Amino acid sequence: MTFLDLGATYRELKDEIDAAVARALASGWYIGGEEVARFEAAWARYTGAAHCVGLGNGLDALILALRALDVGPGDEVVVPSNTYIATWLAVSAVGATPVPVEPDPATHNIDPARVEAALTPRTRVLLPVHLYGQPADLDPILALARARGLRVVEDAAQAHGARYRGRPVGAHGDVVCWSFYPGKNLGAFGDAGAVTTDDADLAARIRRLGNYGSERKYVNVERGANSRLDPIQAAILSVKLGHLDAWTDRRRAIAALYSEGLAETGLALPRVPDWAEPAWHLYVVATPERDALQARLAEAGVGTLIHYPIPPHMQQAYADAGIAPDDLPLARRLADEVLSLPIGPHLDPTDARRVVAAVQE
Ligand SMILES: *Cc1c(COP(=O)(O)O)cnc(C)c1O
């Protein structure tokens, strides 16, 4: 069984998606327009945010959020040591310095208890990631930010449909950044991204920054980028959004099956705090015998992946950051021990039971 079958959602919704794409093509609007506005309104409503701005991709969402907060050279941004490298790259892209904080080993998410020690007079933003679709513990991070006059940007690229303390991820922090990369829980058929926020001024600034720094054609008030949500992708996302809750339910059922079936295997399983409702983007187990387990599962026909095999601080891209491999031992250890089991709307419970049986062997 494949780890992820990206074509499955298209086959499931072919008629609806074909009609939406045809509508977008026939509209004559190929940048901005109604399809984009419709999806932005729907995504704001879904996430409980006052505003949504569609953008080109998730990395741009992070970069433009930081730019809108005037983060730049000399500034520091607190990031998880254990994340997809995009979180760090966004900070570097605006000329600021990513300051990594180690995870809570139980949840793999940034450990709020360790954040305060990472603050310096240069810290401007705290940037938690809802890794694997598990919400990060936001309240202590928001409280610290309030006490220190910092802003909070959330990387929610893996967290579509996740809830923190009963409220959807989408407007707890100052700006929440989304990716609709095809493999995400709400995925376009190409690159796409967005931010959500309750702050009208920040939303307007991010929209302007993604449109050449311009609100009026040929009037450029700042040096912006070109990063806009494609209307064809927006039309596809609007269709898929109508199915997101059902897909999240399927993911939740698979996660429950794994958690029950694997309880006695000695693997470290995802731990879900009582305030968290994960979106189950990934179901990640951990074991020192990871490579052997992955090889055995491959023999049994079960595709798995590693998220992520090399932590950002050990990538060549950050070789000049002056962070030794063992400066962040938890991130380093997780990279050696984590394994993502197949999960997604394409998988039915029979498949999940086969995975459980294969692991139990
Ligand atoms: C996918 C992802 C991103 C980047 O999104 P793109 O749309 O691929 O640019 C950022 N952060 C995290 C945690 C991600 O998983």
What is the pLDDT, as a whole number, of residue 45?
98
- Atom 2 (ligand 1): residue with closest C-alpha? 157
Q: Is the dihedral of CA 318, 290, 183, 65 positive or negative?
A: negative
Which ligand 1 atom is the nearest neighbour of the CA of 184? 1
185 lines ligand 1 (CB under 6 A): no
| Ligand 1 centroid – CA 263 distance (Å) | 30
129 lines ligand 1 (CB under 6 A): yes
Long-range pairs for 261-268 at CB < 8 Å and ≥24 separation?
261/352, 261/353, 261/356, 261/359, 261/360, 262/356, 262/359, 262/360, 265/359, 265/360, 267/293, 267/359, 268/337
- Atom 14 (ligand 1): residue with closest C-alpha? 157
Q: Is the dihedral of CA 285, 287, 289, 291 positive or negative?
A: positive
Mean pLDDT by runs of 10 across the 361 residues of the chain is: 89 97 96 97 98 98 98 98 98 98 97 98 98 98 98 98 97 97 97 98 98 96 98 98 97 97 96 97 98 97 97 98 97 98 93 96 85
- Structure token pair of residue 110: 């940034």
154 lines ligand 1 (CB under 6 A): no
CA neighbor of 192 nearest in space, from 159, 237, 153:
237
What is the pLDDT, as a whole number, of residue 2?
86
47 lines ligand 1 (CB under 6 A): no
| Ligand 1 centroid – CA 221 distance (Å) | 28
197 lines ligand 1 (CB under 6 A): no
* β-strand partners of 52: 196
Which ligand 1 atom is the nearest neighbour of the CA of 62? 10
- Atom 12 (ligand 1): residue with closest C-alpha? 157
What is the pLDDT, as a whole number, of residue 257?
97
What is the pLDDT, as a whole number, of residue 31?
96
| Ligand 1 centroid – CA 239 distance (Å) | 21
| Ligand 1 centroid – CA 258 distance (Å) | 25
86 lines ligand 1 (CB under 6 A): yes
The domains of the chain, with CATH numbers, are 7-241 (3.40.640.10), 244-360 (3.90.1150.10)
